Structure 1
Amino acid sequence: MKEMVFALALLDVDLAELEDLKAHLGRVFPVRCFTILRLPKPPEKAYSPLRRQYNSTRILSLLEV
């Protein structure tokens, strides 16, 4: 079986949510290693067009690398 590594970029997620996400991914995918980046909230005025999009989904990217 091919090994897969997923990189997750998350915006403003608490540690309990990260643990739930890691447990879920471990059940769904044959993944041994998770790289999780917790990104700080962008400044209110910065990225304003994207901020609404970020608010609609906390997972910014799920990439097979």
Structure 2
Amino acid sequence: MRRKINDYNLSPYVKQFKLIAGQFIVPITIFQTVRTLIFPSPVDLVLLALLILLGVALYMEWI
């Protein structure tokens, strides 16, 4: 059985990183989406997929 990570046990630096990443992930993802639509390349598609997965993971509190 997988144990849920307790936010109270995290260091303050990790908590701060999660807050900052949560604020910046949406604008960076939107920018990357526009860039991918204008100049599509395999690297852009992979980066966009990673950003979307990171955004969903932060939103669903998987990280």
Would you tell me which structure has more helix in proportion to its own residues?
A: 2
Would you tell me which structure has more strand in proportion to its own residues?
A: 1
Fold-level similarity (TM above 0.5): no
Q: Which has the higher contact order (CA 8 A, sep 6+)?
A: 1
